[in-house]
Amino acid sequence: MFFLACGSHGHILENLKNKYCVAYIESACNHCMEARTHADHMVITVYMHVHKDVVTLDGINTHIDFSGIQVYRIYHNHLQACP
């Protein structure tokens, strides 16, 4: 599992496990990767999927008045203005 607090480094900031060690086949945090054990390992950085940081229009339109604001939707990777 990624983006959970690292069990070994729970007391340090930025301890989310966003690294993946190919040699150990496990997720780890930045602090884990600074340890000597991973010095020769291939490490992949994992990025949180974009959609998790995106709010849906339905989710926020109760808080914001959208009248007068052009709304777009993504259709086949193109932005399309909604009528």
Binding stretches for Zn ion (CB under 5 A): 6, 8-9, 21, 23-24, 29, 31-32, 38, 41
- Closer Cβ to Zn ion, 12 or 60, answer by number: 12
**Are 69 and 82 in contact, with CB atoms under 8 Å apart?**
no
CA distance 70 to 53: 21
In this structure, the number of other CB atoms found within 10 A of the CB of residue 4 comes to: 12
- Closer Cβ to Zn ion, 14 or 71, answer by number: 14
Least Å distance between CB 23 and Zn ion? 5
CA distance 70 to 72: 7
Least Å distance between CB 46 and Zn ion? 14
- Closer Cβ to Zn ion, 18 or 29, answer by number: 29
